Amino acid sequence: MIRVVLPTHLRTLATVRGEVALEIDGPVTQRSVLDALERRHPVLRGTIREHVTLRRRPFIRFFGCERDLSHESPDDPLPDAISAGREPFMIVGAIAGGCGPPDLYAELPASAPGGSCPIAASRTRR
């Protein structure tokens, strides 16, 4: 049994609570796990991988055994702990961003929220 942890918005979409348990026949890979997940919850098709290419969507990451598995081949075997169900395969929605544009913080005192943004500070102090 493979344990899959989904981000909140995908759990809501698939109407599941907690982890999803999947049985995988054959090698346990990212592809086999995602194929099984999409068979069980067809509403997830296209949310984790592109419909046509089946490539991971840009703001989705895969983790397991304290490792980022996102850039590994989808056909590489997953770690034994995931295959054995001791560790979950985690699908995480990445968050982009940072401090924001420097001009947003230019007039803020250091004590204001974002006023001490190191990126903004390095760009506005000339």
CA angle 43, 49, 50 (to 5 degrees): 100
Segment 61-83, tens digit of pLDDT: 999 999 999 999 999 999 999 99
Q: How far is CA 47 from the centre of its chain?
A: 11
Instruction: Give me 44's structure tokens.
Output: 């997830």
pTM, full prediction? 0.75
Q: How far apart are CA 3 and CA 85, in angstroms?
A: 6
- Side chain identity at residue 1, one-letter code: M
Segment 14-67, tens digit of pLDDT: 999 999 999 999 999 999 999 999 999 999 999 999 999 999 998 999 999 999
Q: Which domains does the chain have, with CATH numbers?
A: 2-93 (3.10.20.30), 98-126 (no CATH)
Closest alpha carbon to 87 in 65, 54, 120: 65
